[in-house]
Structure formats: C-alpha cells, structure tokens
A and B are shown apart, each in its own frame.
Chain A
Amino acid sequence: MRGMSDPPGRLGHDEERVLIERAKRGCEDAARRLVDAHKDRLFAFVGRFIRDYHEVEDICQEAFRRAFANLDRFSAEYRFSTWLFTIGYRLCLNLLRRKQAVSGELDFATVASSQVEGPDEVADSEEAARLKILVWQAVEGLTETQKASVMLFYREGLSCQEIGGVLHMPTATVKSHLHRARQRLKEKLEPVLAEDWSRLGLLSDSA
C-alpha cells in the first residue's frame, strides 16, 4: 500500500491558499515560498520523463512561469502542486513529441553537483540499493502515462481521481494504468530478484 505521508516541508492547504492569494496581489515573497515548496517535487516528477538536466530545469521553470501568469484562473479547491504537475506533464509530453524520443536512464553524472543525498540514501544497505536501482530501471521501461500514474500515486500521494485530473482521463483509466504498471514492474523485477528474495528480506521464509 501507499505508505507515504506528507513530508514536513510541504505546505498545508490553508497556508498554500494564503500564499496564492498574496502572490496574486504581487507579493514576491509568497511566490518565492511557493516555488521553494514545490520545486524539488516538480524536478523529481519531470526528471522521470526527461533525461537532460537542463531540459528538466527549463520545463520546471516554464511550468512555474505559466502557473504564476495564470494565477487568476487557479481554483482554490485544487492543490497548487496538482496544477503544477498538470502543466509540467503537458510540457514534458510536448517536448517528447517534438523530439520523438522517450526518456531513458537519467545521466546523473551531469547533475551530480546538484544532487543532495538524503539520510535514507546514506543508510541504505547494499541489497536495498540494488533493489532501488532495479525498480527505477523498471519504471523507466513504463509508458509515459503509466510512469506519470505511478509517480503521482506513490511519490505525490495523489488519489486516482486527482491523477485523472492531472492526466485528463477518467479515474477508471488511471486505475487501469496503475494495474498495468504494477504488472510490468512485477514482470521485470520478479526474474531478477528471484534469487535474492530471502537476502533482500522481502519475504519471510516462515511464510
């Protein structure tokens, strides 16, 4: 199941609404806080589709620019992040269509200087690190829609209905994409991990 809770850095709905109202009136400090609160998540999301770091940066910047330029049209019943991901996803698809290329493995060497290792990475065991690499490789093999559904569901904690809003599709279709994505992840990972089940601790031998 989705075990994700809101990280401490995320804005509450009320606080976000106040910041958006202030930003509408031209408060740059409010806009700065909105950018700071969402930029990491948007980068992580866009980075799943686009391999070039500078293109990721351009898309994220453009997504924020468009969001601020159209703040008047933003409805307070939605989360700012949902709106931002919608814009970001559209920009990704537009770029991918233009380039007629699908994203492959990220060239992290080019972004090493901007990477910040979190405590979870530092504490990773060798097996867990291997599992992460395999999972991300499998995620890279998903279709764009499956990838977006998986990222928004697990990473952003959006419901299937909210994901449908971002991807412009019915909730049932989102569930179908999630189902297929899980099947593909399972098909890719199962053979690779078959030998490592017990070492990875994914299974209880007593089960």
Chain B
Amino acid sequence: MIECGQANHLFDAYLNGELSPSLTAELHAHVISCRPCGQELSLLEACGDVIATDRIGPRPGEDFTGQVLAASRSEWTERVRLDRWRTFSLWAGAGVAAAAALMLFILPLSAPGNPDTLVQGMRVSVGEIDAEKVGEPLVRRMMLQTILAKEALRRGAGAVGELGEFCVSEVYSALQRGLSEVDSWGLPYFQGADPSFAETPLQDLLRILEDHQLAGGDDGLEFM
C-alpha cells in the first residue's frame, strides 16, 4: 500500500489520465482508506467536473454568425477570387508553354514545302534552291525550325504577356530564354555570320552546295 506522500505525488498524473492501471489501483486503494487524501482528490475532481460541465459564461448573440460572415466576406471573397485567378494563370501559362513546345518540335517536321516567310521584317526565301539537289530535308529542317520556332515563341510570349499581372513569371522567362536562344543562333545564320553551333550542319550544307557547284556564287538564299 502506498503512503500519503506517494499518493499525493500521483494525483496530477491520475487527473491528467496518465497513470498506469496498476498505480491507479494502488491510488484508489489508498484514497478509500485515507480520509485526507480522499478529500483532496475528491475536491480536485469536483473542480474539474465543474469546469468541464458548467455552462455559465457569456454566450454569443443570435446574429453572431452573421456578423462574423459579414466581417470576413470581403477579405475572404477577394482571397478566393485571387486563388481562382492564380489557378487560371498557371493553367493558361502551362497551355501556352505546351503550345510553344508543340510548334517548336513537331510542326516543323510536317510544315508545307514552301518556307518563304517574313521574320522580323526580313524576307526569307529558299524558293530558288533545287531542293532535291541541295538536300531538301536538311534545308527545310534548318529554315523551318528557325522560322517557326521564333514565331511560336513570339506568340507564346505575347499570350503570356496578355495575362498581365497574373502571368506566370517562370513560363514567361522560359519563353524569353527560348527566344534568346533561337536568336543566338538563328539571326547570325540569316545574316551570314558563322554560327559555331550549326557548324556541322552548315559544313554538310556547304559540301552539298559545292557538289552541285552552287557554293560561292548565287546560293539561292536571299535575305532582305
């Protein structure tokens, strides 16, 4: 049997519901036989019961819920509206990016044969090349990829820009990076520079042109 001091020491754990079953049984046995300890524990339990069950205290008025909702409404609806815009912008940005990627990588492969078009006000023509002689797949691939990729990226950037303040910065910057990348190799190529990145395909092209005695003269590529 435990002593009063030990029993008192267990009161808190017992009241907190943390006492093991064996110690609980020991404590019960003690308080049944010890009047002061029993009194003290009963008092503490009674306090807990009153606090837990007594409903005295202020109660909300009938219109309290309405007041809370009215006070929260403007801030809350604004947040919900912004959430919806954010979601829409994310999906729209992703759609634009997907469309740009589609145009960049898939459409060039199935584009029509005549690649004449304008790029930044510059007329690009390969119409006078004998496609069969100079290797049509290579020329078409290089020219069309450049033209269509730039066009697709420009459209993507434009679409993202229209989203205004809600645009997704990541998508926007990704499109800009893509545009810069194309610029970095596309324009020098058109302007007659020697793009190192395209060195291998250009070497192939030059070799084909030489084979057909087209290199060094009127190469049929006219840039205006």
Contacts and interface: CB of A to CB of B under 8 A. Distances in A.
Interface stretch (B43-51, B142-150, B162-170, B188-196): B43-51
Most A-side CB within 10 Å, residue of B32, B46, B83: B46
A61 B54 contact: no
A35 B46 CA distance: 31
A154 B64 contact: no
Interface string A164-207: 00000000000100110010011001100100010010111001
A43 interface: yes
A13 to B, nearest CB: 20
B80 interface: yes
A132 B50 contact: yes
B71 to A, nearest CB: 5
B40 A106 contact: no
Nearest to B51: A154
Interface residues of A, number: 66
Given A1-B14, A61-B64, A121-B55, A135 B75 contact: no
A40 B59 CA distance: 6
Interface residues of B, number: 47
A182 B13 CA distance: 12
A93 interface: no
A76 B139 CA distance: 59
A31 B79 CA distance: 14
Interface SS of B by simple majority:
helix
Contacts of A160: 16
Interface in A15-41: 25-26, 28, 31-32, 35-36, 39-40
A2 B13 CA distance: 11
B12 A40 contact: no
Given A43-B57, A44-B58, A202-B39, A68 B48 contact: no
Contact of B65 (A36, A72, A116, A138): A36
A135 B55 contact: no
Given A26-B77, A186-B44, A150 B72 contact: no
Given A43-B60, A115-B59, A26 B50 contact: no
Contacts of A8: none
Given A40-B59, A182-B12, A203-B42, A2 B52 contact: yes
Given A39-B60, A40-B59, A135 B51 contact: yes
Contact of A118 (B32, B47, B55, B69): B55
A186 B75 CA distance: 47
A120 B69 contact: no
A56 B71 contact: no
B76 A2 contact: no
A65 to B, nearest CB: 5
Given A39-B60, A56-B58, 9 more contacts: A35-B65, A47-B57, A57-B61, A65-B71, A120-B55, A154-B51, A154-B52, A178-B16, A190-B40
20 contacts: A1-B48, A2-B17, A35-B65, A40-B59, A46-B58, A57-B58, A57-B60, A61-B67, A106-B58, A111-B59, A114-B60, A114-B61, A118-B55, A120-B53, A131-B46, A132-B54, A135-B51, A150-B51, A178-B16, A186-B44
Interface of A: 1-4, 25-26, 28, 31-32, 35-36, 39-40, 43-44, 46-48, 53, 56-57, 60-61, 64-65, 68-69, 72, 106, 108, 111, 114-118, 120-121, 131-132, 135-136, 138-139, 150-151, 153-155, 157, 160, 175, 178-179, 182, 185-186, 189-190, 193, 197, 200, 202-204, 207
